[in-house]
């Protein structure tokens, strides 16, 4: 028997002993060998919701740190409950998200204070992409803000703008710029906050004329798409519909037939007539899986891989199952949980 199939057999044997007391979750960007070990596969929000609704004592989260943290934040039932039941485990504890790491709680707090001082008459509401660390979510929650995903970002941004608030959006500049463009706002409605420049590098005039101030973070993977990727792919696959993840730069995303979250892209392809053809601009593990759908023709805009997503392996899942190694336990500091949870729950309630 090969090493790989021996490992999968051991995982299945361990898994069977736990029954419904254990839940193994995997993000769509995980490798097929990891997906084969999972009880459910989904986008980051779906997985957190499944984790929160589950009665499992232990949840193994195959994805990156912010996702496992969000599950832990939603699973938290107070100090007693946390010890009593659901604990979250990340098989590759070093799998982070470079974009999430582009914003710190301290940085967001300082930006919010500076901007609120410059806008004394206004309500400045932070909105943070779910791809952010727990401390960033906690600052957002503390100031009355909400999280959003690439799927519900339009809805969350629209909600606060309709209340007359201005928005401080972190950490993805491209997601919020795409949202504002798609909501019909002109480019000058977005001002870019440069996190390494005191005062964000913005004049009072720029701050006052912006409806949304965008943190200057990005996903290095999706932000690497260029307009020439689109030209080349369109030429190679004439007639194919172009779907691009909104973490791509606005110049690229605006050329798509549709921007779509991970879930949005999957659903659009599933809904399409047999024989439809698509060019897909997102992480390649997912694109490769979509290529296996019968009756649909799928091409990568250009194959892009998230290295952090690729860090999880079946061997590491087995390691957690055999040892419950504390190094793999996800522990969001208790003091961050109430505000971080308020941030996530506000999004769920909108």
Can you read off the two tokens belonging to residue 88?
């979250």
Please report how close the Cβ of residue 51 comes to ligand 13P at its closest, in angstroms: 13
Please report how close the Cβ of residue 229 comes to ligand SF4 at its closest, in angstroms: 16
Distance separating alpha carbons of residues 261 and 313, to the nearest angstrom: 25
Please report how close the Cβ of residue 43 comes to ligand 13P at its closest, in angstroms: 3
Distance separating alpha carbons of residues 201 and 213, to the nearest angstrom: 12
Distance separating alpha carbons of residues 146 and 72, to the nearest angstrom: 17
Q: Which is nearer to ligand SF4, 7 or 253 (CB)?
A: 253
Strand 166-170, strand 124-129: pairing: parallel
Looking up tokens 């707090």, which residue turns up? 109
Is 70 among the residues that bind ligand 13P (CB under 6 A)? no
Q: Which is nearer to ligand SF4, 87 or 261 (CB)?
A: 261
Secondary-structure breakdown of the chain: helix, strand, coil percentages, each rounded to the nearest 5: 50, 15, 35
Please report how close the Cβ of residue 101 comes to ligand SF4 at its closest, in angstroms: 9
Q: Which of 54, 261, 312, 313 binds ligand 13P (CB under 6 A)?
A: 261
Count the site residues for ligand 13P by CB under 6 A.
Answer: 12
Please report how close the Cβ of residue 62 comes to ligand 13P at its closest, in angstroms: 13
Q: Which of 150, 178, 312, 316 binds ligand 13P (CB under 6 A)?
A: 150
Distance separating alpha carbons of residues 237 and 278, to the nearest angstrom: 8
Residue 194, CB-side half-sphere exposure with 13 Å CA sphere: 9
Q: Which is nearer to ligand 13P, 166 or 289 (CB)?
A: 289
From the list 41-49, 51-59, 164-172, 176-184, the region that binds ligand 13P by CB under 6 A is: 41-49
Report in angstroms the alpha-carbon separations of 100 from 86, 129, 198, 219, 245: 25, 9, 21, 8, 17
Please report how close the Cβ of residue 18 comes to ligand 13P at its closest, in angstroms: 25
Please report how close the Cβ of residue 99 comes to ligand 13P at its closest, in angstroms: 8
Please report how close the Cβ of residue 198 comes to ligand SF4 at its closest, in angstroms: 27
Q: Which of 7, 8, 22, 43 binds ligand 13P (CB under 6 A)?
A: 43
Task: Decide which of ligand 13P, ligand SF4, none touches 44; Cβ closer than 5 to 8 Å per partner kind.
Answer: ligand 13P
Report in angstroms the alpha-carbon separations of 36 from 12, 92, 94, 152, 236: 10, 17, 21, 28, 32
Q: Which is nearer to ligand SF4, 8 or 243 (CB)?
A: 243
Distance separating alpha carbons of residues 243 and 218, to the nearest angstrom: 19
Q: Which is nearer to ligand SF4, 86 or 91 (CB)?
A: 91
Is 247 among the residues that bind ligand 13P (CB under 6 A)? yes
Distance separating alpha carbons of residues 223 and 228, to the nearest angstrom: 13
Is 149 among the residues that bind ligand 13P (CB under 6 A)? yes
Q: Which is nearer to ligand 13P, 96 or 144 (CB)?
A: 96
| String of DSSP letters for 61-114 | EES-HHHHHHHHHHH--HHHHHHHS-EEE-SSTT---TTGGG--HHHHHHHHHH
Q: Cis (ω within 30 of 0) for the bond into 62?
A: no
Please report how close the Cβ of residue 247 comes to ligand SF4 at its closest, in angstroms: 6
Q: Which of 90, 131, 133, 173 binds ligand 13P (CB under 6 A)?
A: 131
Sign of CA dihedral 127, 130, 134, 136: negative
Binding site for ligand SF4 (CB under 6 A): 64, 97-99, 131, 219, 221-222, 283, 306, 308-309
Task: Decide which of ligand SF4, ligand 13P, none touches 69; Cβ closer than 5 to 8 Å per partner kind.
Answer: none
Distance separating alpha carbons of residues 216 and 108, to the nearest angstrom: 11
Ranges within 162-221 binding ligand 13P (CB under 6 A)? 219
DSSP 240: P
Binding site for ligand 13P (CB under 6 A): 27, 43-45, 130-131, 149-150, 219, 247, 261-262
């Amino acid at each position: 028997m090969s090493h790989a199939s021996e490992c999968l057999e051991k995982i299945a044997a361990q898994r069977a002993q736990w029954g419904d007391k254990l839940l193994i979750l995997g993000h769509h960007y995980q490798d097929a060998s990891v997906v084969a070990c999972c009880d459910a596969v989904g986008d980051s929000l779906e997985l957190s919701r499944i984790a929160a609704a589950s009665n499992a004592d232990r949840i193994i989260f195959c994805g990156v740190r912010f996702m496992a943290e969000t599950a832990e934040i939603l699973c938290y039932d107070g100090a007693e409950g946390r010890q009593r039941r659901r604990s979250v485990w990340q098989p590759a504890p070093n799998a982070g998200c470079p974009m999430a790491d582009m914003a710190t709680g301290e940085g967001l707090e300082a930006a919010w204070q500076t901007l609120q001082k410059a806008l004394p008459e206004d309500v400045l509401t932070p909105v943070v992409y779910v791809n952010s660390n727990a401390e960033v979510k906690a600052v957002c929650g503390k100031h009355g803000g909400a999280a959003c995903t690439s799927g519900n970002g339009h809805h969350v941004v629209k909600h606060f703008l309709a209340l007359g608030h201005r928005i401080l959006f972190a950490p993805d500049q491209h997601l919020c710029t795409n949202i504002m463009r798609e909501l019909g706002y002109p480019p000058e409605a977005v001002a870019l906050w440069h996190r390494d420049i005191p005062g964000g590098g913005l004049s009072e005039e720029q701050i006052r004329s912006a409806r949304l101030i965008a943190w200057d973070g990005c996903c290095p993977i999706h932000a690497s798409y260029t307009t020439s990727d689109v030209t080349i792919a369109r030429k190679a696959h004439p007639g194919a519909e172009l779907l691009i993840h909104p973490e791509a730069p606005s110049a690229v995303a605006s050329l798509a037939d549709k921007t779509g979250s991970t879930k949005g892209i999957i659903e659009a392809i599933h809904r399409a007539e047999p024989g439809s053809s698509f060019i897909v601009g997102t992480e390649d593990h997912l694109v490769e899986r979509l290529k296996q759908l019968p009756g649909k023709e799928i091409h990568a805009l250009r194959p892009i891989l998230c290295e952090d997503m690729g860090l999880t392996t079946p061997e590491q899942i087995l390691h957690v199952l055999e040892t419950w190694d504390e190094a793999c336990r996800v522990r969001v500091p208790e003091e961050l949980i109430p505000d971080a949870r308020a941030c996530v729950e506000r999004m769920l309630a909108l």
